[in-house]
């Protein structure tokens, strides 16, 4: 999923640049209706991208937590095996 993140950011930056240029042109032409529309589009794009990036981040956190849990389980298993081997040797 992280491999897609740079592409998401690149598309986001491109879209924002387009909206901002439209906003600038609208201001130069004193067209407040278009300027507001471009600002609203920028806000929508920002909100959408935040949601996408947040879901990617949440997935990365979940994967890291799962890895940590697996490593902990393996460590606990190895500790138990070492204790059993020690007990076997004593017997």
Tell me the whole-structure pTM to 2 decimals: 0.62
Closest CA to 39 of 15, 19, 11, 69: 19
Label residue 72 by pLDDT band (50, 70, 90): very high
Residues 79-87: contacts with CB within 8 Å, 24+ apart?
none
Distance CA 61, CA 59 (A): 5
Domain ranges of the chain: 5-90
The pLDDT value given to residue 46? 92
């Amino acid at each position: 999923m992280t491999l897609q993140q740079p592409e998401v950011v690149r598309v986001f930056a491109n879209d924002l640049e387009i909206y901002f240029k439209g906003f600038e042109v609208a201001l130069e032409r004193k067209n407040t209706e278009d300027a507001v529309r471009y600002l609203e589009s920028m806000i929508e794009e920002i909100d959408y991208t935040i949601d996408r990036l947040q879901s990617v981040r949440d997935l990365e956190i979940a994967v890291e937590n799962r890895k940590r849990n697996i490593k902990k389980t393996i460590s606990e298993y190895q500790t138990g095996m070492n204790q059993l081997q020690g007990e076997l040797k004593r017997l």
